[in-house]
Structure 1
Amino acid sequence: MASVSFFFIFLCMVVCMVSAQEGVAPDNGEKAKELVPAMFIFGDSLIDNGNNNNLPSFAKANYYPYGIDFSGGPTGRFSNGYTIVDVVAELLGLPLIPPYSEVSGDDALHGVNYASAAAGILDITGRNFASRIPFNQQIQNFQTTLDQITDRLGADDVAQSIAKCIFFVGMGSNDYLNNYMMSIYNTRNQYNPQQYATLLIQQYTRQLTSLYNLGARKFVISGVGSLGCIPSVLSQNTNSRCSDAVDNVVLPFNNNVKSMINGLNANLPGAKFIHVDIFQMFMDILHNPRQYGFNVVDRGCCGIGRNGGQITCLPFQTPCANRNEYVFWDAFHPTEAVNLIMGRRAFSGDASVVHPMNIQQLANLDIEPNE
């Protein structure tokens, strides 16, 4: 990756000094004012936007029909269009955040996306897909970016800047789908669901604390959604019903994430962590699909076999035409229509889906880096 230019750093610092103003949702036809100088993104395929493209990995989405509704076409996003972080970026008044693999110079002005499909909290997660960038490595990649900035500006100026930025983290899904629930791993024989959730949270806490120690102060932590209702799981039974057994395995992790966030807010001076309850939002959509404009909740728009979930979206496969009526895009991921709903609710929703404040409130929060 090319080094970050001094011009980028200078502009970034100028932006950081600008007072935040209230944002405008992208669906009213107006561009939002910038609420924060930048957003740094860490996660998996739900928010990856191209970091796996040049890796020797089976987890890629840089081919049609992925991106069929995205202005840039197939980019590596596991969606027909926007991901949830694309929505959040626009609501914050930022441009879409570029992937780490493609960032050079001024491209990183408003942040970097380090997310990688198949990545997990645990380094071993996702090895069945060959190469991926686990959360630990994503943090190291952020430190590389940070070191480049610090070499030019000095630690104090960088700390002032980074403290105003949003750090969006969405990890955990693959630690279940591509670890605990797969027979090629021995994890399930070693831990029951509560023990495994505890293991993940211990590691997750250390990782988030590492980001804090690097200067991050405003954290958005996205929980794991309903894995029991994705087309891949639905296709494994003949009645196409959601698997309570699968969701019950994941629920201890989501519950522990909430406790973890309370602990981090209490123990890390100056930091503010918020939790986006993806599980709750997803279940609300699945239970009330017509209220949100959806007619198909039990199959992928692009996929093969039962529920469009036995084989996920293949290159040049013809997807469904009425994509806005589908909850699921492929065997594992939601459509852009769902991402738009969840992104907007995460940004300005109430405490039922985002706690203890929403992203808009977090962005407007005045935090000093050395508090």
Structure 2
Amino acid sequence: MRCCRVVMAVECLLLLALVAALPRAAVAREYAAIFNFGDSLVDAGNLVVNGIPDYLATAKLPYGQTYFGYPTGRCSDGRLVIDFIAQELGLPLLPPSKARNATFHRGANFAITGATSLDTPFFQERGLGQTVWNSGSLHTQIKWFQDMKPSICNSTQECRDLFRRSLFIVGEFGGNDYNSPLFAFRPLEEVYTFIPHVVDSIGKGVEKLIAEGAVDLVVPGVLPIGCFPVYLSIFRKQPEMYGPKSGCIKEMNTLSWVHNVALQRKIVELRARHPGVRIIYADYYTPAIQFVLHAEKWGFLRQTPRACCGAPGVGEYNFNLTSKCGEPGAYSCEDPSNHWSWDGIHLTEASYGHIARGWLYGPFADPPIIGDRQQQS
């Protein structure tokens, strides 16, 4: 009898150990699909599905070199946040929604480089039609999603059942909206007037997806643009305008921060309006700031914000508008994994991996995608 009790005890311990290892896999089975919307931070190839324009350096090596070994249309050396999330949840990498001969029953990526939250007429009315390159706004992408429904489900009810079991990632949106007036050198005060419009548009997009049946949505904020080599190179400031520890342009980061605060307020409103829906705020800003201030903690080199892939230009940022990554004269650093900035505009695969884990398990999401679900189960 004593021997049996010992065996049973050992079996119980083994069972407990097995159960302790299950949450990630258990959560992975909860999502039937992922539907992703956004801009170049998460574009998996929609911009190049019909061929690569000669001017498009982001679809040429060394883009894609780290993970895929070839350019895929992703604006990084490898995987993006959405790729890491799909893999962690046990789902395939999402095919670009415009891909031919692809199956979308496990999800689709509608993101496209240059996307804005607002539609093109908003910019044209403000004399900014030439400074926005909008290849598919948030609401255009949602229309692509709606047009896709007949190919992935056979009835309205079947679609709603699928969407209730799916994860929707809505963004990041806003970066290109603000780039339009910023790169036209409009006053910063004017740029701030865009924030309510951008955030309201994101909120309307979220509600469109909720109306389609989405109950699990991730809504990311924007990056601290003042830390990125493209802005540091273009917008030269007086010494007091830079963060003493970060080297970032303070007023640019404040713009990003104000957007993110407004977006979080909008999410609070949406949660109150849709109590049966889980809406997660996903933070790009905090991890990017940490990559700059605490580089060693994340495995990055402690240095001035600097692009891994680029060419010498103004300052120490390895960013040159006439020799951007993928163009003649540009080169890639030996080890992208120890850089957080890939091309001065986008992040490295290593950075995206850290951010994805922070969204999935905390602390870079409110609530975490998986951590919160584990507590509920």
Corresponding letter in the other structure for 1:155: T
Give the one of 49, 64, 68 matched to 2:61. 64
CA contact (8 A) 1:59 1:117 kept: no
Shift, 1:366, TM fit: 8.5
Deviations 1:35-75 (A, max 9, x none): 41110000000100111113797666221110011225200
Give the Cα–Cα distance (whole angstroms) in 2 for the partners of residues 52 and 302 of structure 1: 21
Contact 2:27–2:370, Cα closer than 8 Å, also in 1: no
The runs of 5 or more residues in structure 1 that have no matched partner are: 1-20, 25-30
Query: Who is 1:358 aligned against?
Result: 368
1:308 match: secondary structure: coil
**Partner of residue 112, structure 1:** 108
Cα pair 2:132 2:176 within 8 Å, conserved: no
Whether 1:272 aligns to 2:278 is yes
The residue type paired with residue 112 of structure 2 is S
Please, what TM-score do these two structures have when normalized by structure 1?
0.81
Distance 2:300 2:85 in 1: 22
- After the TM superposition, which residues 287-326 of structure 1 pair with which residues of structure 2 at under 5 Å, given as runs? 287-295=293-301, 296-304=303-311, 305-306=313-314, 307-311=317-321, 312-315=324-327, 317-326=330-339
Distance 1:336 1:32, change over 3 A: farther
2:9 maps to none
Letter in 1 for 2:319: G
Mapped to 2, the partners of 1:257 and 1:59 lie a distance apart of 31
Q: 2:250, 2:34 → 1: CA distance?
A: 35
Partner in structure 1 of residue 259 of structure 2: 253
* Alpha-carbon distance in 1 for matches of 2:160, 2:134: 33
Change (3 A) 1:189 1:243: closer
Give how far 1:260 is off.
Answer: 0.8
CA contact (8 A) 1:66 1:79 kept: yes
Superposed CA deviations along residues 315-337 of structure 1, whole A, max 9, x for unmatched, are 47431102111111002011111
Query: What's the counterpart of residue 361 of structure 2?
Result: 348
Kept in 1: contact 2:40–2:111 (CA 8 A): yes
Q: Is the 8 A contact 1:218 1:362 kept in 2?
A: no
TM-score normalized by the length of structure 2: 0.80
Query: Is the contact between residue 65 and residue 74 of structure 1 (CA under 8 Å) also seen in structure 2?
Result: yes
Pick from 83, 94, 97: which aligns with 1:97? 94
Give the distance between the partners of 2:298 and 2:62, measured in 1 at CA. Answer: 24
Distance change in 2, residues 1:131/1:276 (3 Å):
closer
Output the CA distance in 2 between the equivalents of 1:366 and 1:235: 46
Q: Is the 8 A contact 2:57 2:325 kept in 1?
A: no
Percent identical across equivalent pairs? 26
Matched, 1:217 2:215: yes
* Structure whose CA Rg is larger: 2
The answer to whether residue 52 in structure 2 is matched with residue 52 in structure 1 is no
Q: In 1, are the aligned partners of 2:342 and 2:348 still within 8 Å (CA)?
A: yes
Deviations 1:313-358 (A, max 9, x none): 12474311021111110020111110110011111013xx211x21
CA, structure 1 residues 72+158, in 2 after alignment: closer, same or farther (shift >3 Å)? Answer: farther
Query: Matches of 2:116 and 2:280 in 1, distance apart?
Result: 20
Asked if 1:121 is matched to 2:117, the reply is yes
Choose the corresponding residue for 2:250, options 241, 244, 262: 244
Amino acid at match of 2:342: W
CA 86–189 in structure 1, closer or farther in 2 if over 3 Å, else same: closer
Give the Cα–Cα distance (whole angstroms) in 2 for the partners of residues 345 and 130 of structure 1. 30
After superposition, the Cα gap between the structure-2 partners of 1:131 and 1:246, relative to the gap in structure 1 and judged at 3 Å, is closer
**SS of equivalent residue, structure 1 residue 282:** helix
Structure 2 residue ranges without an equivalent (≥5) = 1-21, 124-128
Q: Is the 8 A contact 2:57 2:327 kept in 1?
A: no
**Partner residue in 1 for 2:226:** 228
Give the secondary-structure state (helix, strand or coil) at the position aligned to 2:168: strand
